Chains A and B, each alone.
Chain A
Amino acid sequence: MKRLETLVNMLTESRTHPHTIRLFRRVVYGWYLLSVLLLAPSARQFWGPDSLIPLQPVRPVPLLQLLDLAAVRPWFALFVLAEVALLIAGMTCRWPRITALLIYVVSMNLNNRAWVTLDGGDNLMQIMLIYLIFMDPSLPDAEPKPGVVTWTNNALTNAVFLIARLQVVAVYIVAGLGKVTGQLWQNGTAIFYTLSVDDFTLPAVRSFVADYPLFSVVATYVTLLYQLSFPWLIWNRRFRPWLMALGTAIHLQIALVMGLFSFGLAVMSSYVVFFTDAKSAMVLATLRRLIPQRAPKQDQRIGTAGETDDVRGDGGEIGIALES
């Protein structure tokens, strides 16, 4: 009974990772901002009326496929502009749930129109966009008094945050177990073939893997081992930094060598959910020093959720103490 009470209190009394959620929100929206800005010069080819991308055969949620409508399509530039504006607003963490919902709707409209260009990274980020709608990114010292609303907010934020972590783990379980049965993964040539295919290589790298087969054999088994061990070792705080460092190296290779830039960056972005709250607070404080802030009076309005990245305050310390 005591244990249940502790669990209920942990779930409802405070948010366990306020700084990590805030950082994660900024990283995910930063990823979307970078993606849309990179695609913007060729916007017509992705979303315009003359795009050669066929429409999706089904429209399960019409609100998320407005650009499939001939009458809406000429206004694609407005969707791009709205996306940029909303993402910037979303990163400030003001009106967090409304902006998160709007960002989801606009992003999905753009994604659904350019559906043939989506990869696993887009898939992961789309799901994270939904989770962000339910996560409160405000910091503990801006939290209102205890009550049903606060308990629900805290519990929902904590539960969805854990779901986001489990989602990343699910990616690795499925991808890792899927590879185990693959012949090329078993015989150590998977990376050789991947880096020999025109679409996922650079000319110098293709020659390199042909000249040094040992590299591709080691890289194949390291990738396999990494994906299989991630779901278990990521929960161990001693292994976690090393695991994330290795994962970052692998995904940098995927982004820069294989050319799946947005995919590599998306998976790296998702690692933020495994940051400890203290680490996230440090990163936010560093960002705060690097990016010029608005006047302090804007940051100290009582009862306004999520106006500051200040790491001081009792709530912050509680958050750090509870984090896993």
Chain B
Amino acid sequence: MKRKYAVAAAVGAVFAIHVACTALYLLPQNPMTRAYIGVVNRYMEPFFAQRWLLFAPEPATSSVKLWSRYECGGNWTGWRDPAAPLMERHQHNRLSAAGKLLYIPTSLARELSQNTLEIGMRLDCHDPACEAKKNAEVVRLGSFRRAVAWSVRNRPCDASSVQVMVAQLYPTQFSERHKKKAFSFANIYDYPAVAVDASSSRGVE
């Protein structure tokens, strides 16, 4: 009987520690957070890392797109969303890889946008020379080269140059819901055009 109690006590202790750590890990920041978070994080991460703010505190109110335009036969095309066919496929059939594939251009756009913002804040440009320096730095970014690779892989023609743009689209607002608009407003940031060559579509680590 003693051994049975020992087993129960050991398993009970493991249970209590796990439940307590999970609860402390998920608690919002509070005055006591500093006291325990180091120990709790060491236990919870990486195996039990979790974040459950699913559409909270606010739901998604915009979508981030990676748009491109191409120089084909000396003429530039209009801006297009290379992921549009994928989105169409996803909307026609939820049981496909399209939904998860769409995460790739979205994450590329977010990563590129974030990296550009960091460079912009660091350089704090107010003149053309600084802007040129910033652009030179941006085109060397791994995220920029991946964004270009995504665009080149989805090009509509044998393009000689490509230009990418990150567009954050806000849907029609509730107050103007009866106006049939594709979106209400957008934040856009376009990047320097670059020449397309054999290496343009390769992945970058």
A residues lining the B interface (CB < 8 Å): 7-9, 11-12, 38-42, 45-46, 49-55, 60-61, 64, 70, 114, 116-117, 120, 123-124, 127, 130, 148, 151-152, 155-156, 159, 162-163, 166-167, 170-171, 173-175, 178-179, 181-185, 189-194, 196-200, 202-203, 206, 209-210, 213, 255-256, 259-262
Contact = CB atoms under 8 A, between A and B. Distances in A.
The 8 closest A-B pairs by CB, nearest first: A178-B56, A196-B171, A182-B57, A116-B107, A174-B52, A155-B11, A210-B177, A42-B97
A175 B53 contact: yes
A181 to B, nearest CB: 5
Contacts of B171: 193, 196-198, 206
Nearest to A120: B54
A114 B11 CA distance: 35
Contacts of A194: 55, 59-60
Nearest to B57: A182
B104 A53 contact: yes
Contacts of A260: 99
Interface residues of B, number: 68
A120 B26 CA distance: 14
A193 B15 CA distance: 40
Nearest to B108: A52
Contacts of B102: 199
B12 A159 contact: yes
B126 interface: no
Interface of B: 3-5, 7-8, 10-12, 14-15, 18-19, 22-23, 26, 45-63, 87, 90-91, 94-97, 99-104, 106-108, 111, 142-143, 146, 149-150, 153, 169, 171-172, 174, 177-178, 183, 202-205
Contacts of B62: 197
B52 A52 contact: no
Contacts of A61: 46-47
A163 B15 contact: yes
Contacts of B202: 50
A133 to B, nearest CB: 11
